[in-house]
Structures are given as structure tokens and as C-alpha cells.
A and B are shown apart, each in its own frame.
Chain A
Amino acid sequence: MPAFAAYASFVIYPLATGIQYSFYDWNGIGASTWVGIDNYITVFTNQNLLGAIGNAFFLIAFFTVIPVGTGLVLATLIRSMRDGVFLRASQTILFLPQIIPLAAAGIAWSWMYAQTGAVNQILGWFGLGWLGRPWLADYDTALPAVGLIGSWVLTGLCTVLLLTGIGKIDTSLFEAIRLDGAGWWREFFTITLPGLRQEIAVLVTLTVIAALSTFDIIYTSTQGGPGRATLVPSLLIFRIGFTQSDVGLASAFGIVMMVLVLAVVLPVQRLARASDH
């Protein structure tokens, strides 16, 4: 089975060597020394590394909560629109950010966020010019600003997928509850939301992985700065492994990151499956 061979040599084998590296102190060239779980202890005690993990979890708000939330509201409100040119064109446009490389999104947005960029300009139009600042260079706003790039990329995907999901729900259910005199909220909570459980689980899984492993956007927009305000695990793995040549620590961090993703994703999957019955 060639498929399994490819998978084994470029996913399973690196994973195994990664685990192996993570127990050693190695600079990538010279001899390596066995250090047991020292690298893991460093991951969980070093302020920098913990801060990066914290940042990654903070990004979940922007990569998961905002896109899925906005997607739900948009999808429930536009489901009654007739399938026409406008709706199809909107789908295409909403999807565009999904197509362009994340690195390009990082570049486009970092210029929008600049002191003289479009964000401050638009705030000015609404008389909010006093809010203006170089968003990515400000310690308080850099991380949320980066997070919003993620929201921009993922909201369209969420909306379109949820819209398709709603299309699969039996329309007579909607009509029945409306005849019962229910409003938007009750309809949303008794029919739409339960009907979309599966789609929501899928989206949460995808977007959480995206949030915990962001690299492209951060690399091209802030490089983790200012200070350590937007430092995330993937960028640290890159730096520790290739700039500081501490391969063991970087590998341990990689393994921790994978375990974190699994720890968040598996319960979501289980919830979705359990509530299917």
C-alpha cells in the first residue's frame, strides 16, 4: 500500500523521531544527551512558552467563536432568501479569503492596520479617529488585531457551511414552529441549533486547529511582536528549533502542541457524536 508507505514515512516516522528528539538536549549537529522529561518541564514552567500557549488559546475566541457565531446569525437570517445571482455571488465573495494564502492575508492586513492605514482612516470617517493607533505595534491591541485577521478568513467558510446545513433541515419543521407563534429566538434554539450540531462540531474542530497552530498570519504580520504580545507556539517552535538550535525543546513543544489540539478536538467530536442519538 503506497498510501500507507507515504503516510508512514512522512507523518508517523517524523512523529516518532520528534518524540525521540524531545527527550534529548541536541543542537542539531553535535552529540545529543539524554535529558528525560526536562524539555517538557521547561515547556510547562518557562514564562515565554506558557505565554505563547496562552496566546494561542486566546486566539480561539477570534478563530472559532466569532466566525461560528457570525456564521450562525448570518446563515439563519439569509436562509429565507431565494437562491439567486445575489446569493450565489455572496457565497463566492465570502469564500474568497479562504482561497488566498494566509501569508498574503497577513501582508494585506498589516498594511491596513498601520498608523496611516485603512483601519484608522475608516475610524476617522465615523468620527472615531481618536481611537486610531498602529494596531499591530500596540501591546494591548496586537493580539486581538491578529485574531481579527483569522475571523476575516474563517467567517465565510462557517457561513457557507452552516447555510448548507440549514438547507438539509426539513423545512416543515420551521413552518410548524412559526405557526405555533414562535419568534426568531425560539426557532433558533429549538430547531436550527440542534439541527446544525454536526456542522458546528466540524467547524469548531477545524477552526480550533487553525487557532492553535497559526503560523502564516503571525509570521507575515507581526513576527510575534511587539515584545511577546503575539507570540504563538508554532512561531516559537520555528525559532527555538532553527534560530536557537535547541532541537529537543522545540520537538517537545511540538508534541505538547499536538496533544493540546487533540485535547480540545476529541471532546468536541465526542459531544457531537453523543448528541446524535
Chain B
Amino acid sequence: MIASRNEVLIGRVLLILALILTLIPLLNMLSAALQPADRNPTGMSWPTDPQWINFVTAFEVGNVWRLMGSSAFIVLCVVPVSLIIATLAGYALGGLRVRGNRVILIVFVLGLTIPFESLIIPLYYQAQALGTLNTQWAVIFPLIGLFMPFSVFWMRAHFVNVPRELSEAARVDGATLWQEFTRIQLPLAMPSVSALTILLFIWTWNQFLLPVVLIANPLDRTVAGALTFFQGQYYLSIPLLNAGALIIVLPAIAIFLIFQRQFIKALLQGAVKG
């Protein structure tokens, strides 16, 4: 690789600058969260006497257990169901190439560009009609549907690239369609499935609009949706608000740090395919 010394130097300086700019807001949250809760902090400074107790207070005042439980419930309903039906559909479209798969695919792809915000009004009245309004189901059902275009597209992209000889060989050996799918196709699809799992988890966990609109009680929302409740609750204490917000973003960051390689790879692949 030929590159002049100056360029490498400028590149490094800019990269470090970008890293600092990226971290400042997060560090600022942390420094604010550690200030005495009864005073309004100014600017960014490391407190002389960090008040870690703020996290405990924020945890209790914010009913974080209940919130996390509610979020976990929503995630546990949305993610597995989405995975199962998207994998089956992806196989039907990409592997079996059922009749009409092109048309179905185009209908799904168009769905990729519909902003959630455009559908929120009808979704509200639909939830009212179904009687799910103000329960977690009001968020769970639509999210499964809304994530479906991406998920199906993602799984199809995997199955399209599996050589056809593989399933033919399995058929010759006498496997039924279902056996072939569960014993041969599914194990091969695991990397794609796990990448999709991480994406769906983060998207559900961070979902804001749907819970805010469809669930009146903030404690039944996803954690991200509950942030507005935190804002109201800690209106007078910026340190507690920041502590609460940090507690809420922590699980997503933890998942990201653990799976970051798969995650970045997944997001990049998905982006380029999509």
C-alpha cells in the first residue's frame, strides 16, 4: 500500500478526533450521573466525590426491574417468532423458489422503505379494534410485521446462495422436505440466523415510537420508550436522569460488546444486500 506519510498522519489525527467526539456525549452522561443528585451540575468535569449511589437511586425510583421485565417480555415474543417465520419464508423464497416468489419478494422489498411513522395512526386504531391497546401485545404484533420485510429479505439472501445440489442429494437419500430443512438447511443457516437475532434484539430493545404511542403506562413499554417517563420523573435532577438513561442503554451496549464482530458484520452485510 502506497500512501504518503502526511496522509497517514492526517488520517490518524482525524480518527482520534472522531473517536473523541464520539465518546464525549457518553462520558458527559457518566460525569453528570456521578454528581450530587440534589444539585444541577454544570458542564463536564469529573466529580471529586463520585456519587455511585445515584445509580441505585435511579434504579429504584425508575422501577427499572419492572421496565426491564416488560422489555424482556416484548423481546422474547418478537425475536423468536420473527426468526421462525422469517427463516421459513426465506427458505420458501430463496431455497424452494415457490411459485410467485418474485412478486412476493418485490412486495416485501417495498416494505423496507416504509417509515414506521407513516403507519402509526392506523396501527393505533388497529390495536384499539383488536383490544390490545395499552398492552405489550399492541407493540409485539406490529413489530413482528414491521421487521418482516428485512428479516425475510435477509434469510432469503442466505438460502439463495446454498447450492441446489445439497437439497437434491438429501432428497435422493429419502429425506422429506421437513427433514431436509431441519437437518441440513437449518444448521447451515445458523450464522445468518444468529446475526439476525442480534439485530432484532437491538431494534426491539431500542424501539421508541411504537411503545410511546401504543402503551399509555410507561412501565409496560420497552426501556427506550420509557425514557420519556424518566425525563418526567427526574425533571429536577439531571444526575439521576443521566444515571437512569445509562442504566437503560447498558444492556444494549453489553450485547454489542459481546457480539460486536458478528454485529458489525451483520449490519454491513444486511446494508449491502438491502
Contact = CB atoms under 8 A, between A and B. Distances in A.
B68 interface: no
Interface residues of A, number: 96
A254 B121 CA distance: 8
Given A21-B122, A215-B117, A233-B117, A112 B28 contact: yes
Interface in B100-152: 104, 107-108, 111, 113-126, 141-142, 144-146, 148-149, 151-152
A4 B104 contact: yes
Contacts of B181: none
B245 A108 contact: yes
A80 B8 contact: yes
Interface in B148-186: 148-149, 151-152
B43 A15 contact: no
B252 A100 contact: yes
Given A6-B148, A93-B23, A103-B227, A111 B122 contact: no
B32 interface: yes
Interface size class for chain B? 35 or more
B59 interface: no
Contacts of B92: 1
Given A3-B89, A111-B238, A209-B113, A74 B252 contact: no
B209 A17 contact: no
Interface SS of A by simple majority? helix
B61 interface: no
Contacts of A94: 18-19, 22
Given A6-B145, A77-B14, A220-B231, A109 B256 contact: no
A101 B42 contact: no
Contacts of A233: 117
A13 to B, nearest CB: 7
B190 interface: no
A159 B25 contact: no
Nearest to A17: B122
23 contacts: A2-B89, A7-B108, A12-B111, A18-B119, A18-B121, A74-B18, A95-B260, A100-B253, A102-B208, A102-B224, A103-B224, A103-B225, A105-B25, A107-B245, A111-B28, A111-B241, A157-B267, A199-B272, A203-B271, A213-B116, A237-B121, A254-B118, A254-B121
